[in-house]
Amino acid sequence: MTQLIAMQGGYRLLPFRFMRLGGQSSREILVTTDTGEYIFLSEEQLRALVDRQLRPGTALYKDLLARHFIYEPDGHDPLPEMAAQYLSRKDFLKQGPALHLFVTTLRCNHTCQYCQVSRAPLGGAGHDMSEMDARHAVSRMFESSSDVLTVEFQGGEPLLAFPRIRQIVEEVVERNSREKRNVQFVITSTLHHLDESILDFAATHRIQFSTSLDGPAALHNANRPTPTRDAYERTVEGIHRVRARLGTDAVSALTTLTARSLEQPEAIIDEYVRQGLSSISLRPLSPYGFATKSAQRLAYPMARYLAFYHRALDYLLALNSQGTYLVESYTALLLNNVLTPFSSGYVDLRSPLGAGLGALVYNYDGDVYPSDEARMLVEMGEKGLRLGNVQQPLHELLASPAMQLLLASGVAETLPGCNDCALVPYCGSDPIEHYARQGDPVGHRAFSAFCQKNMELLRHLFVLLRDGSEETQRILLSWLSRRSLADVSLPGYRG
């Protein structure tokens, strides 16, 4: 609930929101500002704050003053500092789209039950990006004003169209010899189709790989079947090959959680430890594309995912305290939004939205979408979020009716249910998810799986920051900084 109360004399209140966290602490109320500052207060302290009963000179008074919950009319003007903080958090708005996804093919040798996109047979025709569309897409990418550009190749299985990847990378490198941008390349792949020529090319251009590892062999093979029934073995072999040729950090992995996955968080995490991976992303099932057809067999209520997440996070914290460094990537993104004045860069946690403004997808057929999720909606018969074609200039794509629809519902601070939420400074709007689940880009936050997930994960994170042991807080900070636990010291007291 936003509080802005005009007073006569003494200190004045600046805008803030609050919510009850629960837990054992007497400071059960989280209070936040638009600039992302936060503090934990007891109910008595909150009432004293609002009723203007706080005594100047106390530690709490000084803390609230420094973090811009209050100000003194005859004292320091807080607005320039607050404006600078807010501009820093929304700095991504001054940039153009930085993430550019090239869907080089729909062909794939997997038949994953939770797949979000249609699949084409390995030898199928008409499912690969053309040379001309690829060239146009590269031109659209360089029309972005972003100094940092990430080129990510997706599919299907993008390595099945490696000549197209080679073309795009070489054209980007040649163009960038004049543009002087900071360009990164990532291939999202099963790693089953690696060969030495691909690894040589990746080494030359410092290409990174991202793959899926759903857990131990039985679980991975059940979730991601192939005709030869050896998906796990070939993926693990691919991870080892990339590391041996390109270095330990050249490959990352994530897991998609089916109903059977939720029964074994420790086994999934142990598999990542066994493979020597430094991060794990515990993703719930998506509501897009082919995944909706398997929902009855694979899906679960969000409450089950959240119970899994709590158990998995407890296990991860225990492992880290014992010397095994393994980051939960989504938690690290949330920590970035809470503990730093900068955006995480993750488009789903941006407000205004990241889709289109921060990311673009060039489909195999030349169509352009604001996000991979918008592309996946095509598989559900929904083409309303198509921005246009790669032959259109970027400014035209970003002025399309679909983009205007998303922009109108893409500012979380203005949405019913979000505008008075204490967690909105750290969250996003994600209108595409609500469009997919509820048929409306604004959606109804009370029934939103996106809100249910992020509100509980953030709430739990704040409880850990408030009540967690010094060891737990050092672990969380090590995830944020991506440094070993021994190198991390706790910052000043936060509330």
* pLDDT, averaged across the chain: 89
Mean pLDDT value across residues 46-66: 95
Does residue 6 surpass a pLDDT of 50? no
Q: How far apart are CA 148 and CA 382, in angstroms?
A: 31
Does residue 366 surpass a pLDDT of 90? yes
Does residue 293 surpass a pLDDT of 90? no
Does residue 294 surpass a pLDDT of 60? no
Q: Which of 115-119, 184-188, 196-200 has the lowest mean pLDDT?
A: 115-119
Tens-digit pLDDT profile for residues 379-410: 666 777 999 999 999 999 999 999 999 999 99
Helix axes 265-274, 302-321, angle to 10 degrees: 40
Q: How far apart are CA 19 and CA 28, in angstroms?
A: 8
Tens-digit pLDDT profile for residues 329-346: 999 999 999 999 888 778
Percent of the chain with pLDDT over 90: 74
Contact between 312 and 265 (Cβ < 8 Å): yes
Does residue 75 surpass a pLDDT of 60? yes
Tens-digit pLDDT profile for residues 257-277: 989 999 999 999 999 999 999
The CA R_g of the chain, rounded to the nearest whole Å, is: 24
- The domains located in the chain, with CATH, are 12-89 (no CATH), 95-394 (3.20.20.70)
Contact between 149 and 101 (Cβ < 8 Å): no
Contact between 300 and 260 (Cβ < 8 Å): no
pLDDT for res 113: 63
Does residue 20 surpass a pLDDT of 70? yes
Q: What are the structure tokens assigned to 236, written together?
A: 């693990």
Does residue 138 surpass a pLDDT of 60? yes
Does residue 52 surpass a pLDDT of 70? yes
pLDDT for res 354: 93
pLDDT for res 112: 61
Alpha-carbon distances of 82 from 19, 70, 72, 298, 492, rounded to whole Å? 22, 12, 15, 46, 20
pLDDT for res 492: 42
Q: How far apart are CA 198 and CA 202, in angstroms?
A: 6
Taking residue 254's Cβ as centre, other Cβ atoms within 10 Å add up to: 19
What band does 181 get if pLDDT is binned at 50, 70 and 90? very high
Q: What are the structure tokens assigned to 446, written together?
A: 């009370």
pLDDT for res 8: 41
What band does 5 get if pLDDT is binned at 50, 70 and 90? very low
pLDDT for res 234: 95
CB within 8 Å of 413: residues ≥ 6 apart = 34, 351, 419, 424
Does residue 3 surpass a pLDDT of 60? no
Cis peptide upstream of residue 78 (ω within 30 degrees of 0): no
pLDDT for res 491: 47
pLDDT for res 381: 65
- Name the nearest CA neighbour of 434 among 453, 420, 451, 417: 451
What band does 53 get if pLDDT is binned at 50, 70 and 90? very high
Does residue 7 surpass a pLDDT of 90? no
Q: For the chain, what is the HEC assignment? A: CCECCCCCCCCEECCEEEEECCCCCCCCEEEECCCCCEEEECHHHHHHHHCCCCCCCCHHHHHHHHCCCEECCCCCCCHHHHHHHHHHHCHHHHCCCCEEEEECECECCCCCCCCCCCCECCCCCCCECCHHHHHHHHHHHHCCCCCEEEEEEECCCHHHHHHHHHHHHHHHHHHHHHHCCEEEEEEECCCCCCCHHHHHHHHHHCCEEEEECCCCHHHHHHHCCCCCCCHHHHHHHHHHHHHHHHCHHHEEEEEECCCCHHHCHHHHHHHHHHCCCCEECEECCCCCHHHHHHHHHHCCCHHHHHHHHHHHHHHHHHHHHCCCCCEEHHHHHHHHHHHCCCCCCCHHHCCCCCECCCEEEECCCCEEECCHHHHHHHHHCCCCCCCEECCCCHHHHCCCHHHHHHHHCCCHHHCCCCCCCCCHHHCCCCHHHHHHHHCCCCCCHHHCHHHHHHHHHHHHHHHHHHHCCHHHHHHHHHHHHCCCHHHCCCCCCCC
Tens-digit pLDDT profile for residues 408-464: 999 999 999 999 999 999 999 999 988 888 888 998 988 999 999 999 999 999 999
Burial class (CB in 10 A: 0-12, 13-18, 19+), 207: buried
Spacing of C-alpha 89 from chain mean position: 16
CB within 8 Å of 263: residues ≥ 6 apart = none
Q: How far apart are CA 234 and CA 193, in angstroms?
A: 9
pLDDT for res 300: 87
Mean pLDDT value across residues 126-139: 94
Strand partners, 29: 20, 41
Does residue 238 surpass a pLDDT of 90? yes
pLDDT for res 119: 52
pLDDT for res 487: 46
Q: How far apart are CA 337 and CA 231, in angstroms?
A: 36
Q: How far apart are CA 280 and CA 328, in angstroms?
A: 5
Q: How far apart are CA 164 and CA 78, in angstroms?
A: 53
What band does 24 get if pLDDT is binned at 50, 70 and 90? confident
pLDDT for res 23: 76
* Model confidence, pTM: 0.90
Contact between 134 and 102 (Cβ < 8 Å): yes
